[in-house]
Amino acid sequence: MTPQETRAKGNAGRYLFLFLLGLVVGAVAAVMLLRALQARTDPFPDALMNVMAHQSGQLRDAAKANRCTASDALPRLQSLRALSNDVEAAFPGLRDDARFNEAASNLRATLDEALAAPPADCAQLAALNERVGQGCKDCHRDFR
């Protein structure tokens, strides 16, 4: 082997090492950048909507499973009502919008009615699920 061939083999290893090092440093920098961007976003609105969607889904599942007594629905309704108190706080940019405040207020009114007279059977629970779902859809249609 000539000295040039030996040197070329040695350089190929160095180039491969630098290429891999560049990939690793680039990946680390990309992760750091994405985490920095993610830290600037507020997770509260998404978290609130996810928990409310879960509670609403549990109400729908209870109706499908024929578990329609007041004792089955009340914990979910109470959770939804408590969560609905934070809707305006979760979206401070919409606090001055009359349509947003009306939609949030209507949702709370629907939940207050349901807590005052809990559904006694599956037909009433299905109707309640429809009203709560409509309240969510009204807001999402205008503000999503």
Q: What pLDDT score does 2 carry?
A: 66
Q: Which two tokens mark 89?
A: 């706080």
Model confidence at 130, in pLDDT bands (50, 70, 90)? Answer: very high
pLDDT, average across residues 53-76: 92
pLDDT over 70 at 4, yes or no: no
Q: What pLDDT score does 7 carry?
A: 58
- Asked if 63 and 132 count as a contact pair (C-beta separation under 8 A), the reply is no
Q: What pLDDT score does 8 carry?
A: 54
pTM: 0.73
HSE (side-chain half, CA atoms, 13 Å) at 138: 15
- Residue 27 and residue 143: Cα distance in Å, rounded? 36
Q: What pLDDT score does 39 carry?
A: 83
Quick: pLDDT tens for 77-119.
999 999 999 999 999 989 889 999 999 999 999 999 999 999 9
Q: What pLDDT score does 30 carry?
A: 96
Q: Does domain 44-143 sit in CATH 1.20.120.10? A: yes
Quick: pLDDT tens for 5-49.
655 566 888 899 999 999 999 999 999 999 998 888 889 999 999
